Amino acid sequence: MRALIQRVTEASVEVDGQTIGQTGPGLLVLVCAMQGDTPDAADKLAARVAKLRIFRDEQDRMNRSVLDTGGSALVISQFTLAADTRSGNRPGFSTAAAPDLGEALYLRFAESLRQQGIAVETGRFGADMKVRLLNDGPVTIWLDSADRA
């Protein structure tokens, strides 16, 4: 699985003009399931996100996690994180998980993040979503479950 994590002051997601998810200070997490991903990958990635130390401590160093700060998360599915741009000008997405598996793993990731003790709201899988955010820092981190054994 892939995740693009942004430290935010606030973020929200709309579908058909209605806000369906939002967060205050915390994380906006864009998530993509890849072919071959498993529920275990979703759980491990959620644990990494929950413990990722990207929030400022008293010395203004990135040394605290969203768990440490009591922040929340907005989790959005984004299959375009699977983009293959190695050739041509049009990205390919053939390495993304099939939609049914992608949705199941996205929901598993969000639930696993909740089980870590983080308040989580979500977007709607497969919908045309409008995402707003105020990036804090800016801090944006890329994680890929394939990068760790």
Q: What's residue 148's pLDDT?
A: 61
Whether residue 91 is preceded by a cis peptide bond, meaning omega within 30 degrees of 0, is no
* 8 Å CB contact between 51 and 67: yes
* 8 Å CB contact between 93 and 80: yes
Q: pLDDT averaged over consecutive 10-residue blocks of the chain (149 residues)?
A: 98 98 98 96 97 97 97 97 92 94 98 97 97 97 81
Helical (H) or strand (E) element with 135: strand 129-144
Does 116 participate in catalysis according to the annotation?
no
Q: Give me the catalytic one of 19, 80, 93, 115.
A: 80
Class of domain 2-147: alpha beta
Domains of the chain: which residue ranges? 2-147
> Which one, of 129, 143, 141, 126, lies nearest residue 11 by Cα?
129
> Which one, of 71, 70, 40, 52, lies nearest residue 4 by Cα?
52
Does 79 participate in catalysis according to the annotation?
yes
Give the predicted TM-score (pTM) of the model.
Answer: 0.95
Q: What are phi and psi of 107, to 5 degrees?
A: -65, -35
Does 109 participate in catalysis according to the annotation?
no
